[in-house]
Amino acid sequence: MRQHTEWKEGLTAGIPIALGYFSVSFGFGITAVRLGLSVVSSVIISLTNLTSAGQAQGVQVMAAHGSLLEMALVQLVINLRYALMAISLSQNLDPKFTLRHRLIAAYGITDEIFALCSTRKKPVTPSYMYGIILVATLGWTLGTLLGAAAGEILPAQLISALGLMLYGMFIAIIVPPAAKEKSILLVVITAAVFSTVCYYLLPFLSGGFAVILCATAASLLGALLFPVREEAAV
């Protein structure tokens, strides 16, 4: 009975996430089709990844015929934060979260799901987290499906306009924290400057490796100029 209640709570809590994912993944579906992927391939990518930034950059690497090494490094740099989220979230898990449940739930650790679970007043149970993951995955995958399908039938001009939705999401993610923390603002500006330099001065560098270099360099600069004190980290 308790498991059923936790499951329903998870489903309800995940609805806002699913709605947000739907709109963002619609833009991803359009972008993926525009870059040459099929509707089925786009949906499979969303169903098996659940990482907006990773997927967006991943299809760019695929469209540019990048190497597997480039793809692996890009995904490592972009998605490494999920490992840190999982470690942090492990401190708020119910004892029922056995190793098997942890391995399954790792599939659905995203920024929004992590935030929802980590701020829960009571320990997170497998049923609760599975409920969130299920409805969020449905929203993400359905949005990709409809976006990709629309990308195959809509006029090219409209597709180009709607394709900006994904980049609008990235801006929406960056601006609020950058406005509050000068350290984040500096890292964002540094990454933008490095990206511009790579584009104009290093045209031989592929998009994937440019992302790796810019993200790593900007992060290192931020860590050197704004180190986190151990007291604050605790």
Domain boundaries, the chain: 2-173, 181-234
CA atoms within 13 A on the CB side of 186: 12
CA atoms within 13 A on the CB side of 78: 22
**Predicted pLDDT at 176:** 76
**Predicted pLDDT at 160:** 66
Q: Which helix (H) or strand (E) holds 186?
A: helix 182-201
Residue 137 CA to residue 5 CA, distance in Å, equals 20
**Predicted pLDDT at 164:** 66
**Predicted pLDDT at 234:** 42
pTM as predicted: 0.74
**Average pLDDT per 10 consecutive residues for the chain, totaling 234 residues:** 84 92 88 90 94 87 87 86 87 91 92 87 92 95 93 74 64 75 86 86 74 81 77 47
Helix, strand, coil shares of the chain, percent, nearest 5, are: 85, 0, 15
30, two tokens: 């359009």
